[in-house]
Structure 1
């Protein structure tokens, strides 16, 4: 494991510093697969990585300071957003989908009522009233 780690680090340094950058393209190198090839479970911390990490932390700190100095923006009211979405017309596809869902719900409700009617827990007049077929009786 230790030898694989040293070999991997050495390979990466040689690959980065090679003079034929046209042949050895750093951006096309799959470092993760290469590390797996050397039997590494995680990528080692390398000297280039440490300086890059310091730079990243420095940039992050600068962004935090800039955010603290800027006044916070007020978020727009969600109530006004909700009103605009309600006022928009639905597309034909949305209307069909909504209608299909409502039809399925109504059919399921009617089926449950029919089961109750057959079981005897509700009377036929109640069933007709709930399904809207009272004029047919």
Structure 2
């Protein structure tokens, strides 16, 4: 139980700090201090700061991708409404900090996360393109 608690403390602290200061504005020691854990625990659970950051992003992206990939495409307008509704619901559920991190990543061009986002969102992008193609065909 203690290991899950430690990992959760690290994730909660990193979400807050990454949202407030960005990836480059936060170091491992600062995250550890905020979480109230030894900095070696971050290496133990996540390997390095970049993997920790990707784990934070995945908290949102995994859930969003799963939901979007299940949405039916029969009605393009309905698909887009559901897409937006689920996006907002997940951001609200995950809290304001995740929303800030996603917004920061969307606006700032970070090489570090570009490939991660592109790979992760490839299936979603393809599904959205299919929806638009169907809508264009229908006129």
Greater relative contact order, per chain length (Cα 8 Å cut-off, separation 6+) = 2
Provide the TM-score with structure 2 as the length reference: 0.24
1 or 2, which has the higher helix percentage? 2
User: Max radius of gyration: which structure?
Assistant: 1
Provide the TM-score with structure 1 as the length reference: 0.25
